[in-house]
Structure 1
Amino acid sequence: MCPVSQPTAAPRRGRFFRIVAAVAVLLALAGYVLVQYISGGGSGPRCTAQSSTGGRYRLSPEQAVNAATISAVGTSRGMPEHAVTIALATALQESGLLNLDHGDRDSLGLFQQRPSQGWGTARQVMDPVYAAGKFYEHLAKIPDYSRLPLTVAAQEVQRSGFPQAYAKHQPDAELLSAALTGRDPASFSCAATKSSLAGDPAAVRAALKRAFGAGVLPTGKSAQPSEVRLPVRTTAARAVGAAAPGTGSVQQRGWELAHWAVANSAALHIQRVSYAGREWTAGTNQAPWHRTDTWRSGAAGQGAAEVRITVMK
């Protein structure tokens, strides 16, 4: 009678290692998803620009910050809304509104500007404020650019190999620019989760100053240490850049600042933004912009006096 062979330990060890490897992969995937959710990068679009006519464009928190920066730099230079639309459509095509550290040859940043072609150093074109400023600088030199089709104006600046590609982004860019320049009130919101990290009003002020210029900040200190209060006023630059009735108005300026704050809410740990009797709050189930308890009929002028930005405590 032949002896019965005993099972070896090798198959068991193989199954054990496969199970361990599978668990490790699952844990790594769960960690990645958690990090992406917290950062806003992988949880899907969480910010929305919605027009009064029903149009809607969704974007990630990172894209929202970049779009708001492009808009702020444009209006602070006195550029009309159409210029902001051209810039946003260009950035949508070139980078998807992401500050890319790579591209074709030495192309970098939101607009894929090339240091070798005189756009600035690699470090400069990776700065969204600088990159947007250079784009507007070149756009302003194009004669009658506001009368040109968007694709033509964008191509005059970019010299792209695919000049017609900008056209497909025009509807989304128009919707974004209407919201971020403040022309369409209460039209930009982010479904930001309430952060466990405290915000810093000084960081909010620094970001505002970089995007809009020093004139955006009040001279005195806020009564509340966790608040940034912005008096709403128009500037000469915005008035010069006005392209349509209402552009550069106090009310529009207020919504521009309020929407900028919401777009930056995840990055700057902003909890609440209040303006003109409406309020956006992070981590709630309320409507994106809801009426506040202090709103009174006929008090729109009083409510439009300042934008209040409250950071996480």
Structure 2
Amino acid sequence: MPEPSPTPKRRGRLLRFGAACVVLSAVAGYVVVQYVTGGAGKPGCRVVSSQGDGTTYEFTPEQAVNAATITAVGTNRGMPERAVTIALATALQESALRNLDHGDRDSLGLFQQRPSQGWGTAQEVTDPAYAANIFYEHLAKVPDYTELPLTVAAQRVQRSGYPEAYAKHEPDATLLAAALTGTSAATLTCEGRPETATATGPDAVRAALLRDFGGDGAQAAGAESGTEADSATDAQKTAASAGEAGVPAAETSGRTVTLPVGDDTAAGRGVAERGWQLAHWAVANASALHIERVTYAGREWVAGNTDSEWRAARAGGTEAAGAPGSAVGAGTSAVRIVTAQ
């Protein structure tokens, strides 16, 4: 005999249960998207593995700017790439690479540092450069931290209630660190769609360079505008007198900012790695600073290119093309950044 049809009451319960499941699934999906993208809209940036294994990580322009700052502060302190990976994984777990103005108890900023626990004032720990610097300061005091599992090294600094949580971010942090330190070339790209209410032009680029590369303990260089003929010399003199350590010298001509690239002796890296760090830094900041084009080592990124490929530079350039994923290439003497205005 056929099964009796459900009673109206039972049908109502089934419908409510089904509707609840749909709502929960939607909420769960939303939470996952917000967690992965940092809660700041659709991912507009992407980093790919230089190993050709198809590994990728997608993230937002907001996350890209913060990741670039964390990396710049670390390399200027002479910290190894492993330290940058640990810092990025920690910030991914603590804030999803967002500069939060809230948290557990009085936790704030990228690393959810607590003013009441001696990390600094609320204003300081919500300054990404300061927050990264003090994180590295504590990490450097952990014996043999480069040999420890990432989750152990991060926990020695953070004292988190969930120490194992850092481990799941290690693959993404490793990709980001390789690109943003410059050891993995031509692997990071962003859409570069301009954000609103942000500073623009060469002056904004120089200010951002000072913000990220102006930390203590690195080689002195400059960040000053001037004519193409004499700006590098003037910038270096200005930096030497002002103590602006680590800031790349910037030559400005119209909408183009040219960053001469030399050995990064603070971090023990060569010209090409330093160049790719600056090039990827510019791409990471493209939306915030309205950057239209970045050229380095015979390859260029153009705003609107979302396929994570740096293309061969336009004909007529003086640089020879370098292979993606390699930190070696001809024409590595300068990074050129073209702004929208």
Please indicate the TM-score interval, normalised by the length of the shorter structure: 0.7 to 0.9
TM-score, length-scaled by structure 1:
0.79
Q: Extract unaligned runs of 5+ from structure 1.
A: 1-39, 240-247
Bigger Rg over Cα: 1
Give the CA deviation at 1:271: 0.9
For residues 162 and 302 of structure 1, the distance between their equivalents in structure 2, rounded to whole angstroms, comes to 46
In the alignment, is the contact (CA less than 8 A) between 1:195 and 1:312 conserved in 2?
Answer: no
Cα 1:118–1:311, aligned 2, differ >3 Å: closer, same or farther? same
The alpha-carbon deviation at position 288 of structure 1 amounts to 3.5
Compute the displacement of 1:296 (Å): 5.9
Specify every segment of 5 or more residues in structure 2 that has no aligned partner in the other structure, as ranges: 1-37, 215-219, 224-231, 235-249, 323-327
1:204 CA displacement:
0.7
Q: 8 Å contact 1:106–1:116 — kept in the other structure? A: yes
1:219 to partner: Cα distance: 3.9
- Hey, what's the Cα distance between the residues in 1 that align with 2:125 and 2:155? 18
Shift of 1:283: 2.8
| Counterpart for residue 208 of structure 1 | 209
CA contact (8 A) 1:194 1:282 kept: no
Q: Name the structure 2 match of 1:144.
A: 144
Using the alignment, how far apart are the partners of 2:206 and 2:319 within structure 1? 29
- Secondary structure of the residue that 2:102 maps to in structure 1? coil
Is 1:208–1:216's contact at 8 Å kept on the other side of the alignment?
no
Equivalent position of 2:266 in the other structure: 237
Q: Distance in 1 between matches of 2:134 and 2:308?
A: 37
Q: How many residues align?
A: 266
Could you tell which deviates more after superposition, 187-196 or 249-258? 187-196
Q: Judge conservation of contact 2:192–2:291 (CA < 8 Å) in 1.
A: no
Distance, in Å, in 1 between the alignment partners of 2:113 and 2:306 is 41
8 Å contact kept, 2:297–2:319: no
% identity of equivalent residues: 61
Match of 2:129? 129
Question: 2:336 is matched with which residue?
Answer: 308
Kindly provide the amino acid, as one letter, of the partner of residue 183 in structure 1.
T
Distance apart, 1:298 and its partner CA: 7.9
Which residue identity does 1:121 align to in structure 2?
Answer: T
Cα deviations by residue, 1:218-245 (Å, 9 ceiling, x for unpaired): 4457351211111111233111xxxxxx
Superposed CA RMSD in Å reads 2.3
- Segment drifting more, 296-305 vs 135-144: 296-305
1:253 matched to 2:282? The reply is no
Distance 1:284 1:155, change over 3 A: closer
Equivalent residues of 1:198, 1:312 under 8 A apart: no
CA 116–86 in structure 1, closer or farther in 2 if over 3 Å, else same: same
Cα 1:216–1:70 change in 2 (3 A) is farther
Query: Structure 1's 137 and 56: CA in aligned 2 closer, same or farther, altered over 3 A?
Result: same
CA distance in 2, matches of 1:114, 1:223: 40
Contact 2:70–2:88 at 8 Å: present in 1 too? yes
Which residue of structure 2 aligns with residue 225 of structure 1?
254
Q: Deviations over 1:11-50 (max 9, x none)?
A: xxxxxxxxxxxxxxxxxxxxxxxxxxxxx97541010011
